[in-house]
Structure 1
Amino acid sequence: MQSPDGTAVARISPFDPAGPYVAAFYREASYTGQVPQLFAHHRLTGGGDLQLMEPLQPVPSGDAAAFHDAIAARAPEVADLVDVVHRVHERAQAELPWCGPLDDNPDNVMRTADGRLVIADLFSADGPKLYATVVSDPDLVVARIPEAERRFMTELPLANTGPWEPAVRESMRAGLAAADARSGRQE
């Protein structure tokens, strides 16, 4: 969703446990000019995430690959950025249940209105493992992620962790509700 004047966009996810780490990365690496400008970040009810940031445009795949290669090689022009990437990712790995690896998707390299290449969305939960655990061991998910932070976790239309058939969504919800009841942690 873009602001009327075109200078900001709102990115909203119904469930994004990694959102605070993405926002921290943008704030901590802002001095490099190699991340999008973040105007505001808010956690939403049920585990959602809202980021208000500068608009970005896609870049050719060659530009994206070169930027990712520079990060992987810790090239001098991205050394400060890489330091922040590793610092925030280490924090996410220590604090975030089912923290995923750094996302080297070429679509995460974008261009700002003033022409800068920036990297976005490097951090995420390991969706396939998390959702497999919802099915195989909902009690573990309930123990690690409070209900108030996972209320909308089955509402994601993602290719690698969803979308799910309505019966699968309902099965996941029922499994989590039963695990919540067993734990006595319903909030």
Structure 2
Amino acid sequence: MTLDDGRPAPAPRRHLAVPLGAEADHRRLERALVAAGWTHCGAGDWAVALRSPDGLTAARISPFDPAGPYTAALYREAAHTGQVPRLYEHRRLAGGGDLQLLEWLEPVAADEAADFHRALTAREPQVAALADVVRRVHERGLREQPWFAPKVDENPDNIMRTADGRLVAADLFSADGPRLYATVLDDPDLVAATIPEHERRFMTELPMTNTGAWSPETLAAMRNGLAAADARC
């Protein structure tokens, strides 16, 4: 539903409605949602998604996502444009995980998504206000996070449609995964020095659905290297 001026109507009040303590991590949260009737509906490299029993809400759950707070900031700061998903709740999880509770979104055709991305990059009038917020929040991430991805993600899958027909940009920010995980192997002391252990405890538990899972040998090398680096701190 939208207002007469095209802005989305105020979001209904939604929350998880499952008991979740301060020490809940991504595993505990996922189990709690499944037990409450939520169903798995997707997975990427950084997160999995579950759909609420009524079909109106999605939970994006990541074991480790330094960019999560910036994505949530984009959704809040650009809400007036109607071109980002409604964010009902954002919560950091124990061990560096991230929860975003969003309105349910549907995919769009690749050409339609590409057109939206092109308009955003060119700051065309219909998306100029959104482009300004994207730039501002992305620059903030680059200043504050040493592993922030240098470019906005232009994956067509990040442009989606809401139940009331709006095209929205979702999940535009991420950590620079290739650089970060190469450094975990090559210089784990640098990673340990720049990301506190309590914020990267589960960084080797990403779904990696699109890129492909790490080999057992690579996982062991990353975990052992970080453990040794933590012991030296």
- Where on the TM-score scale, by shorter chain, does this alignment land: which range? over 0.9
The separation in 2 between residues aligned to 1:115 and 1:39, in whole angstroms, is 18
The separation in 2 between residues aligned to 1:56 and 1:160, in whole angstroms, is 19
The separation in 2 between residues aligned to 1:155 and 1:110, in whole angstroms, is 26
Shift of 1:40: 0.1
For residue 34 of structure 1, give the secondary structure of its aligned residue in structure 2.
coil
The separation in 2 between residues aligned to 1:13 and 1:72, in whole angstroms, is 27
Corresponding residue to 2:171 among 98, 101, 121: 121
The separation in 2 between residues aligned to 1:21 and 1:94, in whole angstroms, is 12
Structure 1 equivalent of residue 184 of structure 2: 134
Q: Does 1:86 align with 2:132?
A: no
- Letter of the 1:105 counterpart: N
For residue 183 of structure 2, give the secondary structure of its aligned residue in structure 1.
helix
Q: Which moved more, 1:108-117 or 1:164-173?
A: 164-173
CA shift in 2, pair 1:179/1:161, >3 Å: farther
**Number of corresponding residues:** 183
Aligned-residue sequence identity (percent) comes to 68
The separation in 1 between residues aligned to 2:60 and 2:189, in whole angstroms, is 31
Q: Does 1:154 align with 2:204?
A: yes
For residue 92 of structure 2, give the secondary structure of its aligned residue in structure 1.
strand
After superposition, residues 104-119 of structure 1 pair within 5 angstroms as: 104-119=154-169
Structure 1 equivalent of residue 215 of structure 2: 165
Q: Which moved more, 1:122-131 or 1:152-161?
A: 152-161
For residue 50 of structure 1, give the secondary structure of its aligned residue in structure 2.
strand
Structure 1 equivalent of residue 40 of structure 2: none
The structure with more helix, counted as a fraction of residues: 1
Runs of 4+ residues over 3 Å off in structure 1 = 159-162
- Letter of the 2:94 counterpart: T
Q: Is the 8 A contact 1:154 1:169 kept in 2?
A: yes
Structure 1 equivalent of residue 97 of structure 2: 48
Corresponding residue to 1:69 among 118, 130, 142: 118
Unaligned runs of 5+ in 2: 1-49
For residue 11 of structure 1, give the secondary structure of its aligned residue in structure 2.
strand
Structure 1 equivalent of residue 44 of structure 2: none
TM-score (structure 2 length as normaliser): 0.77
The separation in 2 between residues aligned to 1:179 and 1:68, in whole angstroms, is 40
The separation in 2 between residues aligned to 1:170 and 1:147, in whole angstroms, is 17
The separation in 2 between residues aligned to 1:119 and 1:74, in whole angstroms, is 14
The higher relative CO (CA closer than 8 Å, separation ≥ 6) is in 1
The separation in 1 between residues aligned to 2:52 and 2:212, in whole angstroms, is 29
The separation in 2 between residues aligned to 1:170 and 1:154, in whole angstroms, is 9
For residue 46 of structure 1, give the secondary structure of its aligned residue in structure 2.
coil
The separation in 2 between residues aligned to 1:15 and 1:58, in whole angstroms, is 24
For residue 59 of structure 2, give the secondary structure of its aligned residue in structure 1.
strand
Shift of 1:157: 2.4
The separation in 2 between residues aligned to 1:77 and 1:43, in whole angstroms, is 33
